């Protein structure tokens, strides 16, 4: 399952800052339908995330009825991504491991 979308980068400030984009509502609804078979706990779903020429493995997480996509430093730094930037994102959820 692959999603391509454009979204603004936002920050969650915890003990360390984390950077995210939100999966569009329609895409989040598709993920939510399959989440029980894909999640490995706490609703987290393994995925790969690509921006530009950089791809990382991570997990997407449920939040406020949708899903958020973390942007690891290994993705942000080579692509020069900062908070507030609008970026083109590809998220690929591996459905082959569905239970």
Predicted confidence (pLDDT) per residue in 55-97, tens digit: 999 999 999 999 999 999 999 999 999 999 999 999 999 887 7
Between CA 20 and CA 32 the distance in angstroms is: 18
Between CA 78 and CA 98 the distance in angstroms is: 32
Digit-coded pLDDT (tens) for 10-67 = 998 777 669 999 999 999 999 999 899 998 878 899 999 999 999 999 999 999 999 9
The 8-class DSSP code of residue 36 comes to H
Which two three-digit tokens encode residue 34?
């399959």
Asked if 59 and 97 touch (Cβ cutoff 8 Å), the reply is no
């Amino acid at each position: 399952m692959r999603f391509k979308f454009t979204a603004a980068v936002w920050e969650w400030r915890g003990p360390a800052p984390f950077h995210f984009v939100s999966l569009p509502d329609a895409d989040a609804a598709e993920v939510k339908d399959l989440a029980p078979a894909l999640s490995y706990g706490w609703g987290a779903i393994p995925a790969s995330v690509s921006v530009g020429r950089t791809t990382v493995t991570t997990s997407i997480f449920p939040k406020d009825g949708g899903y958020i996509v973390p942007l690891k430093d290994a993705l942000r730094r080579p692509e020069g991504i900062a908070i507030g930037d609008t970026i083109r994102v590809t998220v690929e959820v591996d459905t082959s491991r569905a239970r």
